[in-house]
Amino acid sequence: MVDWKWPEHRLPGYIKSHIHTDGIESEKGEFPLVPTFRLPTLIHSRSGNAKWLAEISNRNPLWMHTSDADRLGFKNDDLLRVNTEIGYFIVKVWVTESMRPGVVACSHHIGRWRRPQDPVANRWATNSVEILEIESGKWKMNVLDGIQATEGEDSDLSRIFWRDGGVHQNITHAVHPDPISGMHCWHQKVRLEKAHPGDRHGDLFVDTEQSFQVYKDWLANSRPAPGPDGLRRPLWFKRPLKPVMEKFYLK
């Protein structure tokens, strides 16, 4: 780490996260959002074509501890607007004791969509949405319909009883590249408020100019190659598809 310009991290240490309490004003409805937890019954966006799995897991409400909900006046199933750095999404809240106070969480996998012009697909798991580019870089997604029972080749299509379809939260997250590992730091600082009139569960908004700016801000914290001897990368680090040795050196 010393060789690569990070002497302060030469030993195992503690780095305060970008969502550390120092930067969270909880009285203003700010929270760290943990958006990463997986459900044992689904796999990313690839299980939308598995009807048994969609039947088991088909909602992704926002988990919130009872004490936080009481403090902010939210009730179970209230519609919330979750404001991220680059936009917002609309989601129902699930008030529970099974959650750490002061943190909210929303599961991955759910909130799949298709537009009216797209091929009919994954009907067990997709909302029907419209996507509007209000002006350059300002994107609005409105849910037109949740999941519907329907007629089709598979008679189970007519037995679909779930309607929710969830919300696509990841699309409202800015990129957070860790300057050392290159990891996308998934957690988001968010501000919660009651949904506005007209907001519908699953609706969302994003400004990509804003997301480009957040990218620039994080990029500025990196400490670029070369390292010792003009290296692009330590030779003893793994790298998929290793090129010829001379390519490891910047000219």
Partner 1 sequence: MSLKPKLGLIEKFAEGIGLIPKLNFEDGKIEPMNDPGDLSNYPPPEKWDDWVEYEPTKWSRKIKRHYTIVPTSCFNCESGCGLLSYVDKETGEVRKFEGNPYHPASRGRICAKGPATINQIKDPDRILHPMRRVGKRGAGKWERVSWDVVLDEIAAKIRKAIKEERNNEITYHVGRPGHEGFMDRVLQAWGVDGHNSHTNVCSAGARTGFALWDGFDRKMPDFANAEFILMISAHLESGHYFNPHAQRIIESKNSGTKIAVMDIRLSNTASRADHWMATYPGTEAAVLLAMAKIILDEGLYNEAYLRNWINWAAWLEADHPKTEISFENFILKLKEEYAEYTPEFAEQESGVTTQAVVDVARQIGRAGSRFSSINWRSASSGNLGGWQIARCLQFLNVLTGSLGTKGGSLPSSWNKYSPKMPNPPPPQKYWNELHFPKEYPLAHFEMSFLLPHFLKEGRGKIDVYFTRVFNPVWTFPDGFSWIEALRDTEKIGLHAALTPTWNETAYFADYVLPMGHASERHDIISYETHAGKWIAFRQPVLREVARRNGKAVKYTYETNPGEVWEEDEFWIELSWRIDPDGSLGIRDYFISPYRPGEKMTVDEYYQYIFERVPGLPEAAEKEGLTPLDYMRRFGAFEMEKEVLELHNKVLTEQQLYESLS
Which is it for strands 62-65 and 79-83: parallel, antiparallel or unpaired? Answer: unpaired
Q: Using the minimum distance from each CB to partner 1, give the nearer residue, 19 or 197.
A: 19
What amino acid is encoded at 232 in this protein?
R
Q: How far is the CB of 3 from partner 1 (least distance, A)?
A: 10
Q: Taking CB under 8 A as the criterion, which residues in 227-246 touch partner 1?
A: 227, 231-234, 236-244
What amino acid is encoded at 250 in this protein?
L
CA distance 94 to 166: 13
Select from 25, 77, 145, 152 the one that contacts partner 1 (CB under 8 A).
152
Q: How far is the CB of 133 from partner 1 (least distance, A)?
A: 9
176 binds partner 1 (CB under 8 A): yes
Q: Taking CB under 8 A as the criterion, which residues in 76-115 touch partner 1?
A: 86, 97-100, 102-103, 105, 112-115
- Output the six-digit token pair for 209: 């100019």
142 binds partner 1 (CB under 8 A): no
189 binds partner 1 (CB under 8 A): no
What amino acid is encoded at 186 in this protein?
W
Rounded to 5 degrees, φ, ψ at 135 are -145, 175
Q: How far is the CB of 152 from partner 1 (least distance, A)?
A: 5
- Name 75's Cβ contacts closer than 8 Å, sequence gap at least 6: 69, 93, 95
Select from 16, 27, 73, 75 the one that contacts partner 1 (CB under 8 A).
16
Torsional class of 116: left (φ above 0), alpha (ψ -120 to 50), beta (otherwise): alpha
Q: Using the minimum distance from each CB to partner 1, give the nearer residue, 12 or 73.
A: 12
Q: Taking CB under 8 A as the criterion, which residues in 201-230 touch partner 1?
A: 206, 208, 211-212, 215, 219, 222, 224-227
Q: Using the minimum distance from each CB to partner 1, give the nearer residue, 114 or 194.
A: 114
- Name 76's Cβ contacts closer than 8 Å, sequence gap at least 6: 69, 93, 94, 95
198 binds partner 1 (CB under 8 A): no
Q: Find the helix or strand (DSSP H, E) in which 132 lies.
A: strand 126-135
Select from 157, 164, 193, 194 the one that contacts partner 1 (CB under 8 A).
157
**Which of helix, strand or coil describes residue 190?**
strand
Select from 30, 79, 149, 187 the one that contacts partner 1 (CB under 8 A).
187
Q: Taking CB under 8 A as the criterion, which residues in 30-69 touch partner 1?
A: 32, 34, 36-53, 56, 63
- Output the six-digit token pair for 96: 């529970």
177 binds partner 1 (CB under 8 A): yes
**Which of helix, strand or coil describes residue 39?**
coil
**Cβ–Cβ under 8 Å, residues 175 and 212:** no
